[in-house]
Copies of this chain bind each other. A is one copy, B any other.
Amino acid sequence: MIIREKPKLRVGLVGSGFMGKCHANAFRSVSGLFDLPLEPITDMLADISDEVARKNAVALGFRRSTSDWKALCTDPDIDVVAVTTPNALHEPIVMAALAEGKPVYCEKPLSNTLESALRMTEAAEMSGIVTMVGFNFLRNPMIRLARKIIESGEIGEVVSFRGRHAESYMSDPNVAHSFRTDPDGGGALADIGSHIISMGRYLLGPITHVLGQSQTIHKTRPIKLGKTERSPVLVDDATHALVTFENGVLGTIEANWAAVGRTMDLSWEITGTCGAIAFSQERMNELLFCKGTTGRATSGFTRIESGPTHPPYGSFCPAPGHHLGFNDLKVIEVAELVHAISGSANTGPDFREAYEVQKVVTRIAESCKEQIKKKV
């Protein structure tokens, strides 16, 4: 007996690198894990050449492939466009999809320049099209729990934020130049600082003031992979900033891609007047929670392990402590995208939110060049 099928959501994906594969997997998995109104189908993949596109379409389970992203955007059988190309190429693809009235799911950062990001944001808002940007770390049930704890007032009024995203993938001076070190949109602050900024905003609201300092640790890098010739690096390897949130919370943010020993220290500690919570992506299935009352004999940080009491963990596993992984966060994001496309409220982050994150990045970068430190 052939069973009844759900209505389909035909996905067109542009780009099939690191995040492209991650998108493809999420679209394939999501309907077996979540009860969604639409079933995503990995339909068409566009990439740099026919050959690459065809090869990766086979590998990632797409039915069709093309080297022409415009064709993908205008194809009448494509219902949603996902964009995972290098950042500088986002805008034309996104604009083409929006012009067709298609929902757009774009990897972060939305663009390499703030102006470009604003153009996309306004185009989407003008047409009322659903958009989403891939800040997948926000999708962690532990992060949702953190926000719930903050909103509940259990830690009192929040007063401090100490955030960081530190990895080490650029710590070797022989890692070559790439889009990451392109002065137009590259650097540690833009690449990973955006994650901790988006998380700070998700948990505590808008950031209104910043003061930054940045450093370029490795002054030159090989001009490209496999070459020995070197050229100057014009972006930051690490940036630290003092920040103020709209609600008065003060804190610091660090972005560092040369942090030897750190592979994924997207971490923060949030302190309230009568409690605190702390998190690191290094242990993404744990949240530390202290419910104040200093001086009691049994107070301290409680290590909460993820489980079915932390939605949507239960969509992946009915038993606690079994762990979600990085790719599962993308699946959750795609589930939210499908709900938004189906007419539910968009839980974001949409283009506007991505633009706001990028504005903070830009202001910190500007501040790094302007301010003068006090001499001791």
Contacts and interface: CB of A to CB of B under 8 A. Distances in A.
A213 interface: yes
Contact of A207 (B211, B298, B317, B376): B376
A244 to B, nearest CB: 6
Contact of A300 (B42, B240, B302): B302
Interface stretch (A62-70, A223-231, A336-344): A62-70
A320 interface: yes
Contacts of A6: 58
A42 B61 CA distance: 14
27 contacts: A1-B54, A3-B57, A3-B63, A4-B54, A18-B317, A18-B318, A21-B32, A28-B28, A31-B61, A32-B42, A32-B59, A172-B294, A206-B376, A210-B373, A240-B242, A241-B242, A260-B294, A261-B275, A264-B322, A289-B298, A297-B304, A300-B303, A300-B304, A316-B327, A317-B327, A364-B374, A366-B374
Residue among A24, A262, A282 having the largest count of chain B Cβ atoms under 10 Å: A262
B171 A273 contact: yes
Interface in A270-299: 271-276, 278, 281-285, 289-290, 292, 294-299
Contacts of A260: 155, 271-276, 290, 292, 294
A347 interface: no
Interface string A320-348: 11111111100000000000000000000
A217 interface: yes
A258 B242 contact: no
Contacts of A62: 3
A367 interface: yes
Interface stretch (A85-93, A96-104, A159-167): A159-167
Nearest to A65: B3
Interface stretch (A115-123, A124-132, A176-184, A247-255): A247-255
A105 to B, nearest CB: 17
A300 B24 contact: no
Contact of A208 (B59, B318, B359, B375): B375
A65 B1 CA distance: 6
Contacts of A214: 250
A303 to B, nearest CB: 5
A33 interface: yes
A5 to B, nearest CB: 7
A259 B3 contact: no
A326 B317 contact: yes
A52 interface: no
A319 B209 contact: no
B366 A215 contact: no
Nearest to A175: B294
A132 B137 CA distance: 35
A305 interface: yes
A29 B373 CA distance: 45
A321 B2 CA distance: 42
Given A155-B260, A159-B215, A264-B320, 14 more contacts: A1-B64, A18-B318, A29-B29, A32-B42, A32-B61, A162-B254, A213-B250, A214-B250, A252-B254, A261-B271, A261-B290, A360-B376, A363-B375, A367-B373
